[in-house]
Amino acid sequence: MKDGQKTLYSAVQPTNNLTIGNYIGAIKNWVNLQNDYNCYFAIANMHAITVRQNPAELRNKTLSLLALYIACGVNPEKCVLYLQSHVPQHAELSWVLNTFTYVGEMERMTQYKDKCARNADNINMGLMDYPVLMAADILLYQSDVVPVGLDQRQHLEITRDIANRFNNIYSPTFTVPEGLYMKVGAKINDLLYPDKKMSKSAENPNGSVFMSDDRDTVIRKFKRAVTDSGSEIIYDPVNKPGVSNLLSVYSVFTGKTVEQAQSEFAGKGYGDFKTAVGEAVADKLAPLQAEQAKLLADKDYLNKVLVSGAERASKTALRTLNKVYKKIGFYQI
């Protein structure tokens, strides 16, 4: 790892197909962040099983996500890239942190309530408890910063609360992480319901653009995107949420500022604007999809990446866990 740089942690679940919102909010940022921080990037398959998964599909999606990470520019030589279940210290620290977390705190978590509503036939303890596992993920690597979307603030805050609670009882043990909030594209919304976040599991898939969508599908979805009253193409999230969402997408996928995008489409109609956004996204996705397919054909290489990542992650994770076990009084050999 790089001396003198802060440590950063982030993870994505290998469930469903990732959307361009996941790409913009997480993976694209990772490519830049890996040069500035000591980065731990995980495939969070332990979090994935709070909802029932098809075992074969979960394995396939895990490798597919790993290949996508690398295709997008996440470099296993520059960061620690690993599978969460390959590092058992995640589960071990999570159990300890459970004893420093209150039931009321978990019951108040917004995403717990949302997931219970969507999975009424499977309200398991994992749904309630996964913020504690997330805290273990972050604290295990003494993370200084965590890139978070606006909807993840609550999870970061409970992580900070748990860390401070433990530190106050046993003396400083965990680094208390700060949030790293991205300005543009931090939250990409549904194309059909621009007041809602674009989701991997949305009921209507036409509102989400997936990283696996072919060119025609991408452009078709953007052509059908909901816009707003009036005809001006300006960034105004309150009064023009649909247009503002599309401007954010266009800005990220072209590298232009929102102001430059506004100028480019001044005087043009919504039809031309939506087509241009779709084409910009499709142009970016095509080479990523091709590289992902190439990587998936080399399973030996992907396995080597996971073995190396697990070894490197485990060294740091074990160091933290041993410190925690000593603090709480576990007898160690």
Active site amino acids: 115, 197, 200
Torsional class of 108: left (φ above 0), alpha (ψ -120 to 50), beta (otherwise): alpha
What 8-state DSSP symbol labels residue 210?
B
CA dist., res. 18 & res. 68, Å (int): 10
Q: What is the largest CA-CA distance in the chain?
A: 73
Distance CA 83, CA 98 (A): 22
Which of 310, 326, 320, 241 has the alpha carbon at shortest distance from 82? 310
Cβ count within 10 A of residue 4: 5
Strand (E) or helix (H) holding 134 = helix 125-139
Query: DSSP class of residue 79?
Result: S
Q: What six digits make up the tokens of 130?
A: 């996964």
Task: List beta partners, residue 145.
Answer: 8, 178
Phi/psi at 179 (nearest 5 deg)?
A: -85, 145
